[in-house]
Structure 1
């Protein structure tokens, strides 16, 4: 596997663009379009929030029942959530506009929205934006990067990843872009992710690969514990790499899954590290677990602990908060067997052994916790299972950003 520059335009046959439609923001691009030159097998995973935005309902219908898709229209600023029948109708109107502009079927156009909940989309601006974008699609890295910037809301930077891998003797490329900074606690936040690949693979295996991988990537991140109404991950495969179509779980399928996992892990960590107001990516590894499920519960409990997140912001090795968060997680373990370490590029330091604090240097611990990427490793000594979760610190700016987000 080779890591390369790029995002959604990295794979063969995929183009993208963006425009400033003026939906909410007055000084930046706020719409993006991804288009494949040929029809795509498409998989999707969506929010588990009972309150689902109209685009989620539209896209799920397409990924479940449409024979193929070919385009995605994305807007930032208004989520089109809690908008009733009118909101769903606006999804169809957006898809119809793209259908006419790109000369493709309406049921091949996916839509996605992010932003304020409860407001209706300004359809005159949406339709005008679609028309403009249909005329300026491009396949360069810069085109993909511009699209990644256009879907941001409170994000501070665009998020992209791309890799190449040899499958069936052919070079297969997978690229992706995502957005997410607040309302992040996926149970597939507000989190949108779009992955494009030129691999030839059956729709059934494409969906299975995505559904399985989401469990270890997007579902292992949290910024604030709020599961969004709009969470969506879309994976489009157009087959232009020319490999023999993957129809069984063979070595080619395993290679694809490894590359897909890299993309999803990379994008997930970018979301967690760019949490609203965050100054650090906080990674929690639970090792020595009896089962994967136990490790998942424990690691996610720590990254969602507000007290632990605040301690990371303060560069404070307050290990009691971590042990406490593990203790109320619901998972069973022996606290008197836990070893805990802090690690960053500044070094690694054991903090507790068998549930008791060691005579460690607070100064060294603070140095380790002052980096922009910080890890806590908890060994519970019960088995060989493990899990990793990602979050961020909790800062004053998180409250400032969310206190007046709507206004």
Structure 2
């Protein structure tokens, strides 16, 4: 495995990454080649040969053949047309534990370096499911679990710069609409750097009366902790009166989705506080600081779903809870023990809404509920910054550098 991976890493870093970065220069936000089409064709054919070698090495040769077919089809239609990589996505197989995987295609990288759009990207990663999860999975079995925890090894800037830690089937540019999520890949080894170089800086600048235990956890333990958070988060998506996989159309609604994301993170926090799994205190800080601070700091915050979840949670606590108050020495104080009581109350209110059987009525009531804490937006925004979010200017003023992944 180590020898195999080292050879692959060299090929990805020395050949594929620079070729993809050059190809990106010729693409627009739809993935179409708008200039240098002769050179782009040359690059695509070279990438097809290299990808075939790597897919063979990671034991998914059919993906290499499918990638080449998709490339040739695109060339045949004209590179100024939209690229479609349906064959590749159909042929791709997510890795088993300890397997290396590779992907190369036009994809969207959420929270990555591109403002928006779909560009050619590549990644090389290894799946690594921590042993500490086995007893937890036995205690809280999740038959619908389709998530894979990976360590990113190498890749292009969409995956190695800024904060994209996910890869889903719907991120790939395809002609046919994706209706089934056959995998959900998370690069959880990126989280340590994101948390320390961004989130924790915000938390230290804004919150007082917090122990900041999460500041002292090692990178490897951070990986394990982030895997546990991911498992609990997905576990609770599939619980309750309206489990996500049975009410997907309702839960994909913007307002119902806000409530769903907040509910499952609150339930994860409450489970950690009750069961006291390894790293439970650190994970609670992870979840709260990410939701309340980092997500609302996105450059397109009033258009961004994740930002909306953070604004909503903060505003709800200000109006209904006791755990967040104006601070004395810093802008805000956060009492984690009181926060547990606040989150229990919020979960109960969301679950009460989920007792509504008719999904259309549920979506309407979800919007009414969320709008109490997320006002309508201006200039095309999905919402405005709520007045309750009194830390907005301070949070946006925190200086953070552009994140470049260090494998």
The interval holding the TM-score normalised by the smaller chain is under 0.3
Structure whose residues are more often strand by fraction? 1
Q: How high is the TM-score relative to the length of structure 2? A: 0.27
Provide TM-score, normalisation by structure 1: 0.27
Does 1 or 2 have the higher relative contact order (CA < 8 Å, sep 6+)? 1
